[in-house]
Amino acid sequence: MAVCLPALPGGPGAAAQTAAVAGAQGAVSGPGTDHAVDDPFTAERTSWWRQDRFGMFIHFGAYSQLEGEYTRPDGSVCRDAEWIMRECAVPKEEYEKQAARFDPSAFDAEAVVRAAKDAGQRYIVITSKHHDGYAMWPTKVNSWNLRDHSAFDEHRDIMRELKTAADKAGIKLGFYYSIWDWHDPDFADPDTFPRYKKRMYAQLKELVDEYDPALLWFDGEWDADNPVNRWSARDGAELESYVKSLKPGLLVNNRVGKRRVVDGDFGTPEQEIPDGPVDGQPWESCMTLNGHWGYARYDHDWKPAAELVRNLLASAGRSGNYLPNIGPDSKGRVPAESLRRLRDVGSWMRAHGQGRAVRGAGYSGLVESPGWGEVTRGRRGQLYAAVTDWPEEGKPLHLKARTDFEITGARVLGSGQKVAVSRSGDGFDLMPSGGPVDEKATVVELRVSVPRGRAGSGSGLKARFWDNDSFRGAPAATRTDASVNHAWRFDGSPSPSVPADHFSARWTGSVQPRWSDTYTFTTVSDDTARVWIDGRLVVDASDPHGPRVDTGTVRLRAGKRHRIRVDYRELSGEAHMKLLWSSPHQQQEIVPRSQLYGK
Ligand code: FHN
């Protein structure tokens, strides 16, 4: 019997429509559950993170006591940093002895927060527990922690100190937490792993309850040995549901699961900046300032501030965040070389308002990324051309346009020099009349004229769901879906009347673009998906697959209602279906309700 479900205000088919019972830890599960609660590209919940663009990573733990070097009994020296226990095969008893000497008495939370703020970093992610399992807060779950197993003042709690200082400074605090645990005896054996998981859940509850973090940055999710790491995508789905049930506004990275596009709220490229906007998920690049995450006294291979500025601009210009790392030493002191570089980045951000090219800025869209620097698009629609390779006198800076628009004004931040703008070939030439303001990057602010976007008045697509995976017979459920944004994962489905496996879905109606442009439609799907626009197959992901991104392009006309049909099949296992779009005028987002119509 078809069940006609009312559309939820604003949200996709969500937990409120499920008859499912609450899961073991308060998380909802079962047929009718949909774990997608918003669009991380546009949600209020992720807004601060998307605006900030720039955070500070801190790797600090028992490994810091060794400062990157372990002298073996035979006198040989083995070097590593946060992996030193494993990579240098430090016997457990010896490592515990070293940890018992750990006394980061010089750790100064106020100074760390001030350094982040001065650098322009608006959030901090600190290791609460790395792979060695050592907790940097007074956990009650075990005694392998800074309170119970160190030489540190037992009345101090550096996570509390950091939280207090961060709150006072208006900086968000997040915790890194490693799933992989080299110290807990129950981790490696599948029979005892549930006991480890229970302790891990308890520790995460402590962190959320005691310190109210803005985000959890999981790590140690990959298949590994010594000890064997069996963390699965299903473990990740359960853990993500659990921690978000503790604090609904929490942000979680993709390493909560298996570092896939369907895991968590954002992707985590490491030691690299992706070549462009990442399809299907927001992202943040984390990076060492030298060659190590944890403190290594011998590593002086520090990245120059100019490289950090360029990485920051490159990240922002691809709608990503940048998270460079500091590693305090055994006493808790931050290396002067780290502080100096971060201070230089902050000076650049503050000078002449250059930080506007980063804070709140995102994918340029209107132009291709040039070879001479990075282009970002600011909050008010202006372009920021950050020039890292200033042209010879008389030579122009060329920008290749991706769509029709005008540049109506140009000025160099921090200089009164004139910048002539002219149409040239496939775009524009910018001809500055003077030299660069800053060798790291000189920012040319460009005022642009673009057609006004045409806001829609849609309420979503007609959605039909079958309790079989081939659209056979009458739909088991029919409703209006505000958007195609669904994470049914392993246990959920579009409706209580639809099983978690072997179901199919079809969305029909029309889509109304705000601008006339070539649009890229992106599906994030598991198992199959196809998208037709005006009867033409634009995305064909009809081969059964695991969580995957597929794209297709189509020219759309502003204000016109283009027919759309989306077919989806869930065979077995995980179930995900999201429909996103982007264009030169439109940053990537779930196609919003306002632009979707049921006919
Ligand atoms: O193994 C860790 C490593 O020690 C460090 O914490 C980085 C930071 O993202 N994450 C893992 C390697 O990907």
Going by C-alpha positions, the residue among 365, 397, 371, 359 that lies closest to residue 383 is 365
The pTM for the full model equals 0.95
CATH number at residue 407: 2.60.40.1180
**pLDDT tens-digit series, residues 396-443:** 999 999 999 999 999 999 999 999 999 999 999 999 999 999 999 999
Query: Atom 6 in ligand 1: which residue has the minimum CA distance?
Result: 293
To test the pocket of ligand 1, the residue of 82, 221, 268, 293 to mutate (highest count of ligand atoms within 8 Å of its CB) is 293
**pLDDT tens-digit series, residues 433-483:** 999 999 999 999 999 999 999 999 999 999 999 999 999 999 999 999 999
Query: According to the model, what pLDDT value does residue 29 have?
Result: 83
Q: Looking at residue 267, what DSSP letter applies?
A: B
Instruction: Write out the two tokens for 121.
Output: 């970093």
**Helices marked H in 221-363:** 233-246, 305-317, 336-350
What average pLDDT does this structure show over 226-231?
Answer: 95
Q: Strands 172-178 and 123-129, how do they pair?
A: parallel
Residues 64 and 176 in one domain: yes
- The verdict on residue 3 lying in a domain is no
To test the pocket of ligand 1, the residue of 179, 219, 253 to mutate (highest count of ligand atoms within 8 Å of its CB) is 219
Residues 132 and 263 in one domain: yes
CA–CA dist 40, 263 (Å, integer): 12
Q: How far is the CA of 536 from the centre of ligand 1 (A)?
A: 44
Residues 281 and 428 in one domain: no
Question: Helices 109-119 and 158-169: crossing angle, nearest 10°?
Answer: 40
> What b/e sequence results for 221-238 when a residue is b if at least 16 CB atoms lie within 10 Å of its CB, and e otherwise?
beeeeebebebebebbbb
Atom of ligand 1 nearest to the CA of 83: 4
- The verdict on residue 32 lying in a domain is no
> What b/e sequence results for 263-288 when a residue is b if at least 16 CB atoms lie within 10 Å of its CB, and e otherwise?
bbbbbbbeeebbeebbbbbbbbbbbb
**pLDDT tens-digit series, residues 134-143:** 999 999 999 9
Domain boundary residue, one of 418, 449, 480: 449
- The verdict on residue 36 lying in a domain is no
Residues 353 and 478 in one domain: no
Report the first-to-last Cα separation within the chain, whole angstroms.
Answer: 24
Is the model's pLDDT at 48 over the cut of 50?
yes
Q: What is the CA radius of gyration of the chain?
A: 26
Domain boundary residue, one of 313, 341, 357: 357
CATH number at residue 551: 3.90.182.10
Q: What is the 3-state secondary structure (H, E, C) of 34-64?
A: CCCCCCCCCCHHHHHHHHHCEEEEECCCHHH
The residues, any chain, with a CB within 8 Å of residue 21's CB and separated by 6 or more, are 29, 30
The residues, any chain, with a CB within 8 Å of residue 401's CB and separated by 6 or more, are 366, 367, 426, 427, 428
Q: How many domains does the chain have?
A: 3
Residues 435 and 531 in one domain: no
Query: Atom 10 in ligand 1: which residue has the minimum CA distance?
Result: 219
Going by C-alpha positions, the residue among 27, 1, 2, 3 that lies closest to residue 15 is 27
Instruction: Write out the two tokens for 386.
Output: 């950050």
Residues 180 and 276 in one domain: yes
Going by C-alpha positions, the residue among 78, 89, 185, 67 that lies closest to residue 133 is 185
Query: According to the model, what pLDDT value does residue 18 have?
Result: 37
- The verdict on residue 455 lying in a domain is no
Instruction: Write out the two tokens for 35.
Output: 């774990």
CA–CA dist 113, 190 (Å, integer): 41
Q: How far is the CA of 178 from the centre of ligand 1 (A)?
A: 9
Is the model's pLDDT at 366 over the cut of 50?
yes
Atom of ligand 1 nearest to the CA of 130: 6
- The verdict on residue 232 lying in a domain is yes
Q: How far is the CA of 106 from the centre of ligand 1 (A)?
A: 25
Residues 142 and 275 in one domain: yes
CATH number at residue 78: 3.20.20.80
431, burial (CB in 10 Å: exposed 0-12, middle 13-18, buried 19+):
middle
Q: Are 35 and 264 in contact (CB under 8 A)?
A: no
| Better-scored residue on pLDDT, 284 or 27 | 284
The DSSP H or E segment spanning 567 is strand 562-570
Query: According to the model, what pLDDT value does residue 219 have?
Result: 98
| Beta bridge partner(s), residue 323 | 286
What average pLDDT does this structure show over 359-388?
Answer: 96
Distances (CA, A) of 486 to 39, 483, 515, 576: 10, 9, 26, 6
Residues 277 and 414 in one domain: no
Q: Are 358 and 316 in contact (CB under 8 A)?
A: yes
CA–CA dist 497, 473 (Å, integer): 14
- The verdict on residue 98 lying in a domain is yes
What average pLDDT does this structure show over 553-567?
Answer: 98
Q: What is the average pLDDT score of the chain?
A: 95
Residues 522 and 506 in one domain: yes
- The verdict on residue 156 lying in a domain is yes
The residues, any chain, with a CB within 8 Å of residue 457's CB and separated by 6 or more, are 594
Is the model's pLDDT at 362 over the cut of 80?
yes
Sign, CA dihedral 532-501-37-15, equals positive
**Segments forming the whole domain that contains residue 267:** 11-24+41-357
Going by C-alpha positions, the residue among 219, 208, 134 that lies closest to residue 173 is 208
Q: Strands 477-481 and 461-466, how do they pair?
A: antiparallel
Domain boundary residue, one of 309, 326, 357: 357
9 pLDDT band, cuts 50/70/90, is very low
Residues 224 and 335 in one domain: yes
To test the pocket of ligand 1, the residue of 270, 271, 285 to mutate (highest count of ligand atoms within 8 Å of its CB) is 270
Residue 445: strand, helix, or coil: strand
Q: How far is the CA of 101 from the centre of ligand 1 (A)?
A: 24
**pLDDT tens-digit series, residues 19-43:** 333 334 456 788 999 999 999 999 9
Query: According to the model, what pLDDT value does residue 28 have?
Result: 73
Q: Which amino acid is at 232?
A: S
Query: According to the model, what pLDDT value does residue 5 have?
Result: 34
**What is the edge-to-edge ordering of all strands in the sheet holding 419-424?**
397-400, 427-432, 419-424
| Beta bridge partner(s), residue 218 | 177
The full length of the chain comes to: 599
Residues 372 and 402 in one domain: yes
Q: Are 51 and 519 in contact (CB under 8 A)?
A: no
What average pLDDT does this structure show over 367-385?
Answer: 96
Residue 195: strand, helix, or coil: helix
Q: Looking at residue 584, what DSSP letter applies?
A: T
526 pLDDT band, cuts 50/70/90, is very high
Residues 475 and 553 in one domain: yes
Is the model's pLDDT at 582 over the cut of 90?
yes
CA–CA dist 326, 96 (Å, integer): 24
Query: According to the model, what pLDDT value does residue 12 have?
Result: 41
Query: According to the model, what pLDDT value does residue 2 have?
Result: 35
Is the model's pLDDT at 10 over the cut of 60?
no
**pLDDT tens-digit series, residues 106-154:** 999 999 999 999 999 999 999 999 999 999 999 999 999 999 999 999 9
Is the model's pLDDT at 197 over the cut of 60?
yes
Query: According to the model, what pLDDT value does residue 27 have?
Result: 63
Q: Ligand 1: which residues within 6 Å by Cβ?
A: 82-83, 219, 270, 286, 293
- The verdict on residue 474 lying in a domain is yes
